[in-house]
Homo-oligomer: A and B are copies of this chain.
């Protein structure tokens, strides 16, 4: 995202609470991300009904960080393979 790009303000509802998000991304992107998180939190609550909202949000964030780091490792591996293929072709 370029620094010159205008920031949009998008209001989304996550787990019953409203949040106004300032982002360079399109409002539709922000809504998609919020819906993804809202679904994840509701699923987590179903599996762990005793959790309060803060712990629920932290554990959902923890789960997402885990998925993110695993995906990052996978991508790094792809890029390494890609580089090795390119090196062999030269």
A interface residues, Cβ below 8 angstroms from B: 14-15, 17, 19, 21, 25, 32-34, 36-37, 40-41, 53-55, 57-62, 64-69, 71-72, 74-75, 78-79, 82
Q: Is the interface of A mostly helix, strand, loop or mixed?
A: helix
Question: In whole angstroms, what is the CA distance A82 to B79 when docked?
Answer: 11
- A19-B55 contact given A61-B60, A64-B68, A69-B33, CB 8 Å threshold: yes
Contacts of A74 in B (CB 8 A): 75
How many protomers of this protein does the assembly include?
2
Q: List 29 A-B contacts (CB under 8 A).
A: A17-B54, A17-B55, A17-B58, A19-B59, A19-B62, A25-B66, A32-B69, A33-B62, A33-B65, A33-B66, A36-B65, A37-B62, A37-B65, A40-B61, A40-B65, A41-B58, A54-B54, A54-B57, A57-B57, A57-B58, A57-B61, A61-B64, A64-B64, A71-B71, A71-B72, A71-B75, A75-B78, A78-B78, A78-B79
